[in-house]
Structure 1
Amino acid sequence: MNVTVYTTTTCPYCDMVKSFLSQNNIPYKEVNVEDMEKMQQLVQKTGQMGVPQTNVNGTWILGFDPNGIMAALK
């Protein structure tokens, strides 16, 4: 299982995704994209500027979408 959450420190939905993953004992790596270079890398990968973006085993989930995260984990 490979889960990475791309976040900023001021994003309430990012906190919701991290809480959801923690409550469900899903290990994840967090990447803060407030650094412009990291944000540009994320936009190049996904075409999206918004956060949170969660990569679950190669599948991108935009925003706070618990159902999408669980579906991607199956």
Structure 2
Amino acid sequence: MYKIYSTKSCGYCERAKSLLAANNLPFEEVYVDESAENFNEMKNVAPNMKTVPVITLNGLLVGGFYELKEKVDA
């Protein structure tokens, strides 16, 4: 299952969710602006990424929106 680390005001996060929904791919969304625990979880998954979305698939880092789009469209 995909996991999207996002914020409520992130346009690329919305695009990622729409892309997954359009392809009937299940996902879980984790808001990193709601708790320090969620933010720290995201930083452990992707310590070098500076922006959201941070997207994983079954615990493995996919990347951001463009990496997700490349993977889904492949």
TM over 0.5: yes
- Per mean C-alpha deviation after superposition, the further-off stretch among 7-16 and 54-63 is 54-63
Q: How many residue pairs were aligned?
A: 70
Listed as ranges, the matches of 1:21-40 within 5 Å are 21-34=20-33, 35-40=35-40
State the shift of 1:37 in Å: 2.6
What is the match of residue 19 of structure 2? 20
**How does the TM-score come out when normalised to structure 1?**
0.79
TM-score using structure 2 length: 0.79
Alpha carbons of structure 1 residues 69 and 5: separation in structure 2 relative to 1, 3 Å: farther
* Alignment correspondent of 1:57: 58
The residue type paired with residue 31 of structure 2 is: N
Other structure's SS at 2:65 match: coil
SS at match of 2:25: coil
Quote the RMSD (CA, aligned, Å).
1.7
- Provide the identity percentage: 31
Shift of 1:3: 1.1
Structure 1: give runs of 5+ residues left out of the alignment.
Answer: none
Structure 2: gaps spanning 5 or more residues: none
